Amino acid sequence: MESFSPISAAAGGVLIGLAAAVLWLGNGRIAGISGIFGQLLPPARTVVWRLVFLASLVIGTLAASYLVPGLGIGGPGGAPARLVTPANTPLPAVVWIALAGLLTGFGTKIGNGCTSGHGVCGLARLSRRSFVAVGVFFVVAMVTVAVTGIV
């Protein structure tokens, strides 16, 4: 853990919690990104706030990249993020990203939510289902790291 930066991690956690609280208190909705995104197609009646929330995620990330130059792995001055593809595979990174996106979408559909919905909002509401889901997320993440060796 040579790139651990507690200040930026704490700031990120506070901002995520604040965004979830603002959405919950202001709109009565849980900040589960898969649910918010999933209701765009076909459009739900409440499409405007969903578009605003998702656009804010992208704009906030863009703003952070300009406000904190060199923001990368390990905080300011860290190495820029890069795509990692499995070794010895003929498939390009774009195919792996598409497959990962499809599998993630399928998983969030059968899991009735994603890590942001269960991990941030569900645990805060003491949801039993979210405790189980987050436990499964952690176990799968540990197995994935053990199998791939990518940290």
pLDDT digits (tens, 9 = 90+) for 41-89: 787 788 888 898 889 888 987 887 778 766 666 555 666 666 666 677 7
pLDDT of the residue at 1? 47
Same domain membership, residue 48 and residue 27? yes
Extract the tokens encoding 20: 């979830």
- Res. 37: pLDDT tops 70: yes
Provide the pairing of β-strand 75-76 with 71-72.
Answer: antiparallel
Same domain membership, residue 121 and residue 87? yes
Same domain membership, residue 55 and residue 2? yes
pLDDT category, 145, cuts 50, 70, 90? confident
Same domain membership, residue 105 and residue 61? no
Same domain membership, residue 35 and residue 15? yes
Find the domain containing 2 and state its range. 1-81
Same domain membership, residue 127 and residue 111? yes
Last residue of a domain, one of 37, 53, 81: 81
Q: For residue range 116-136, list pLDDT tens digits in order.
A: 788 888 888 899 999 998 999
Same domain membership, residue 56 and residue 30? yes
CA atoms within 13 A on the CB side of 140: 9
Same domain membership, residue 25 and residue 40? yes
Residue whose token pair is 């076909």: 42
Same domain membership, residue 61 and residue 38? yes
Same domain membership, residue 39 and residue 57? yes
pLDDT of the residue at 142? 92
Last residue of a domain, one of 81, 103, 134: 81
Q: For residue range 77-110, list pLDDT tens digits in order.
A: 666 666 666 677 788 878 888 888 888 888 888 8
pLDDT > 90 fraction of the chain, expressed in percent and rounded: 7
Q: Are 137 and 118 in contact (CB under 8 A)?
A: yes
Mean pLDDT of 7-26: 85
Same domain membership, residue 141 and residue 72? no
Last residue of a domain, one of 81, 100, 121: 81
Beta-bridged to residue 71, according to DSSP, are: 76
User: What does the DSSP 8-state code read for residue 118?
Assistant: I
Mean pLDDT of 136-145: 90
